[in-house]
């Protein structure tokens, strides 16, 4: 089971109105995403006014280039890329001689893969800190991807007990990860960015 199952209490819901056609699906997805888009930008700029201006600029770019979105299932990742580019343009206009903030590092596929690998390493470390009753059920579910029924057989526990321990253990692990870093997710719950809350978190 992917690490995202630990780091998100629930996966993002599909855009409302998806059955009504591509235009309505796109608009509905934008309405759902707009608050997160603004929050994403606000965490990377100095104040609310700049965040509002850049959010508006991003939305304009999104609607002007919507025809370039070939795969609707990748809407959020595409929106984050446009937002990140808008923020980078802002910093380059304001401070052309300064390096970009670390939170605006690139989103190339190999970089995202490396980021997810670091998250998995951190998750494995935090897993060792869980109480013994939760550690092994969560390890089998998260790192080995075993179904709960097989975990119950392996640990000689009832299925109800395994469900309870995995649920509670995941909640503990999720809190440790969220205390460590603030994560950005795409629509499928996959990590596409993060900011460290603590210096030594999400290291290789």
3-state SS of the chain is CCCHHHHCCCCCCCCCCHHHCHHHHHHHHHHHHHHHHHHHHHCCCCCHHHHHHHHHHHHHHHHHCHHHCCCHHHHHHHHHHHHHHHHHHHHHHHCCCCCCCHHHCCCCHHHHHHHHHHHHHHHHHHHCCCCHHHHHHHHHHHCCCCCHHHHHHHHCCCHHHHHHHHHHHHHHHHHHHHHHEEEEECCCCCEEEEEECCCCCCCC
What residue ranges do the domains of the chain occupy? 4-8+105-196, 18-104
The percentage of the chain sitting over the pLDDT mark of 90, rounded to a whole number, equals 24
pLDDT at residue 109 in the model: 56
Residue-wise pLDDT for 134-183, tens only, equals: 999 999 998 888 999 999 999 999 999 999 999 999 989 888 877 877 66
- 45 pLDDT higher than 90: no
Each residue's pLDDT tens digit, 85-125: 898 888 888 877 766 666 665 555 555 566 667 777 778 88
Q: From 3.90.1150.10, 3.40.50.920, 3.30.70.360, 1.10.10.10, which CATH number describes the 4-8+105-196 domain?
A: 1.10.10.10
Domain 18-104 has CATH 1.20.1250.20: no
pTM of the model: 0.48
């Amino acid at each position: 089971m992917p690490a995202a199952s630990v780091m998100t209490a629930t996966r993002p819901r599909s855009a409302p109105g998806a059955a009504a056609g591509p235009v309505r699906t796109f608009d509905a997805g934008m309405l759902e995403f707009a608050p997160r888009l603004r929050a994403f930008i606000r965490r990377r700029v100095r104040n609310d006014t700049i965040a509002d201006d850049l959010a508006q600029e991003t939305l304009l770019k999104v609607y002007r280039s919507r025809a370039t979105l070939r795969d609707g299932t990748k809407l959020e990742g595409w929106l984050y890329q446009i937002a990140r580019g808008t923020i980078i343009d802002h910093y380059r206009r304001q401070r052309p001689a300064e390096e970009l903030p670390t939170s605006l590092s690139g989103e190339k596929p190999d970089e995202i893969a490396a980021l997810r690998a670091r998250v998995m390493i951190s998750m494995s470390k935090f897993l060792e800190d869980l109480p013994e009753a939760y550690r092994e059920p969560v390890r089998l579910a998260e790192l080995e991807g075993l179904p709960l029924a097989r975990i119950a057989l392996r640990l000689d526990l009832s299925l109800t007990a395994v469900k309870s321990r995995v649920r509670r253990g995941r909640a503990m692990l999720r809190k440790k990860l969220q205390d460590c870093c603030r994560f950005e997710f795409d629509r499928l719950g996959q990590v596409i960015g993060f900011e460290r809350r603590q210096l030594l978190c999400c290291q290789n």
